[in-house]
Amino acid sequence: MKTLIEKASTLIESLPYIRRFYGKTIVIKYGGSAMVEEDLKNNFAKDIVLLKYVGINPIIVHGGGPQIAEMLDKLGIQTKFISGMRVTDKETMNIVEMVLAGKVNKDIVNLINKNGGSAIGLSGKDGHLIKSEKLMVENDSSLLQAPEIIDIGHVGRVREVDSGVIEAISRDFIPIIAPVGIGDDFEAYNINADIVAGSVAAAVKAEKLIMLTDVKGVLNHDGKLISSIKSSELADLKKEKILKGGMIPKTDAALIALEAGVSKAHIVDGRILHSVLLEIFTDSGIGTQITL
């Protein structure tokens, strides 16, 4: 009986948050261990279905870097990186699109549907959802007096997101979006999934942007979690090299969303079961909250 009462109490505690976010849109960037470990995958799907059933509209943007690397390795295609970006020629882009928009995307759709939801998979090509342009990379070299600007192929940046496509689908379904954009040349471009998530959140005027990762959140000099931070403080963390690696596109995505009117962005440890629910339905949350 005690256990049952505790379960009922948990439901009652979540009521103010359900009321607050009812009818609102929350964009979730899905990646890291939460996309790999079976227990995390299944519980993530259940959490997303629950959000939909209580009247919240979740939109999922997913990554797929490890799956792409695995497929390229199987096919014997060598990968080169410049400034942390994968050089993506036409052959590599075909594999990237096949893995992201095909295998990974449809696996997530199937997982959501299997757990009682109704999901539809999309890529930026669908309805011109994500219009993109080629991303040129600056490569600093001690041998050059100025940064070298390098064309790394089919790697893009978001130019525009068509919110109408997403809003039409999200009324009845859960959109699952692969980070593949379409250029004016009708070529496909691989885009950083965090940036796509931030751009989608900005376009649909989401209430929140939540990004799942494999760390606790943004950490300070001592490696301790920063539970809440203003967007204006992020630049100093970059200069001090506290923000680095994969955390940079996440905080950049947060800025894109916040500057477009999204209330809050969150960077959350996706290795924790029900991390999305804990972030939405509790006062303190479990990761780093970023606000303007």
pLDDT in tens, 239-263: 888 898 889 999 999 999 999 999 9
- The answer on pLDDT for 137 being more than 80 is no
Q: Give the global pTM.
A: 0.93
- The answer on pLDDT for 21 being more than 90 is yes
pLDDT: which is higher, 200 or 65:
200
276 Cβ contact list (under 8 Å, min separation 6): 28, 44, 47, 48, 51, 210, 212, 268
pLDDT in tens, 266-278: 999 999 999 999 9
Q: Name the residue among 240, 219, 167, 176 with its Cα closest to residue 48.
A: 176
- The answer on pLDDT for 145 being more than 70 is no
pLDDT band at 86 (very low <50, low <70, confident <90, very high): confident
Count of beta carbons in the 10 Å neighbourhood of residue 190: 26
Q: What pLDDT is recorded for position 142?
A: 47
Mean pLDDT score across all residues of the chain: 91
Q: Name the residue among 57, 59, 50 with its Cα closest to residue 23.
A: 57
- Tokens 């970006």 correspond to 85
- The answer on pLDDT for 125 being more than 60 is yes
Q: Name the residue among 227, 206, 209 with its Cα closest to residue 218.
A: 227
pLDDT in tens, 179-221: 999 999 999 999 999 999 999 999 999 999 999 999 999 998 8
Q: What pLDDT is recorded for position 80?
A: 81
Q: What pLDDT is recorded for position 140?
A: 56
- The answer on pLDDT for 4 being more than 80 is no
Q: What pLDDT is recorded for position 38?
A: 93
Could you tell me where the DSSP H helices lie in 54-192? 65-74, 90-97, 105-114, 163-170
- The rounded percent of the chain whose pLDDT value lies above 90 is 74
Domains and CATH numbers, the chain: 24-291 (3.40.1160.10)
Count of beta carbons in the 10 Å neighbourhood of residue 221: 8
Residues 187 and 192: their CA atoms lie apart, in Å, by: 16
